[in-house]
Structure 1
């Protein structure tokens, strides 16, 4: 039986977890936005997304998630490439949400079959989320490599995105993934229940 895409992941700095656990995953424009939010990622890409309107969607207005771990962006963040500040893996946390919860509660979202800024990528409405496994390939988004000579499009497909329109309350976060036991202990000290935290070093580089 083929694996199914059941979850979506958003990576964040460990210092943001206390606020996320209380207020949820919120937009930069939200009244709940954390004034002490510690960003990770490529600021150039983030700014580009703010200015992009694709298929009528203002990409920067959405909160992006990936459907699998070990994204190319995580690789850049861990290694500090392209002018991106390097972040140690134990300082990066995955917030994990369940697609079934979004469907059941009619959460406003769209999703893609590849990186949202790529011209070859298609966009889908929330009504298609129940059919995600016929649109996004599990093996693509969970692939540990993406620069394959025989499949030049894999990197784009691996970066398929779930884009959530509004602030997502903390109750939708079903768990957290961290790099090691030290990071797990840090989350516990921040008030996260231990059985909600999974240590998976293979989700990192």
Structure 2
């Protein structure tokens, strides 16, 4: 039996080279703050998509734009990761093996004092709706498509990929203490990540989860 939506894991991935700055600052910051402080060492996101997120408004409180939020997916193996795996991000050529999942839950974030909103699909799509009422989390997100390995559009359902890209968006920053698990594709990266955590006195489980990757 699945836990309630607020207790289910949500997933943010970044390059392993970005972990030291996250740990040093004590926060995982949104794109707006990262750009201002120039703390990102390796950019693995799609630059065109990130640019659109800097103008896509978030209507419910606390408002702003999508780039004011730290994004988490509701499932691993996202369409964005697939694009990276297929070489669809021109400036990034380091593959999946150095990408690290940072995992938490909506309840953990709320307990850490974070303010969050969530979408029913890709925030770049005009039809996507963003909400901030956590009581709607169980119905606003398509949990069925989140639980499936394949999320491709079909003739019967041409909107599956957009819904799989639904996000839990945390306003401005996530404290490191709210990250309850890290996951990587292979043992070599796990060793690197564990050494980085030790160097900064951080304590979190680092799991090898190749099934979360392509």
TM-score of the pair, normalised by structure 1: 0.88
Asked whether 1:198 is paired with 2:202, we answer no
Cα 1:3–1:155 shift into 2, 3 Å: farther
Distance 1:181 1:122 in 2: 39
Could you tell me which residue of structure 1 aligns to residue 105 of structure 2?
A: 98
Of 136-145 and 178-187, deviating more is 136-145
Report if aligned partners of 2:145, 2:164 keep a CA contact under 8 Å in 1. Answer: yes
Distance 2:44 2:98 in 1: 10
Flag structure 2 segments of 5+ consecutive residues without an equivalent: none
Of 30-39 and 180-189, deviating more is 30-39
Could you tell me which residue of structure 2 aligns to residue 168 of structure 1?
A: 174
Of 183-192 and 131-140, deviating more is 131-140
Could you tell me which residue of structure 1 aligns to residue 144 of structure 2?
A: 139
Could you tell me which residue of structure 2 aligns to residue 27 of structure 1?
A: 30
Within 5 Å, give how 1:37-48 maps onto structure 2. Answer: 37-48=41-52
Question: After the TM superposition, which segments of 4 or more aligned residues of structure 1 sit over 4 Å from their partners?
Answer: 31-34, 192-195
Flag structure 1 segments of 5+ consecutive residues without an equivalent: none
Q: CA deviation at 1:83?
A: 3.0
| Partner secondary structure for residue 190 of structure 1 | helix
Could you tell me which residue of structure 1 aligns to residue 165 of structure 2?
A: 159
TM-score of the pair, normalised by structure 2: 0.84
Distance 1:30 1:170 in 2: 16
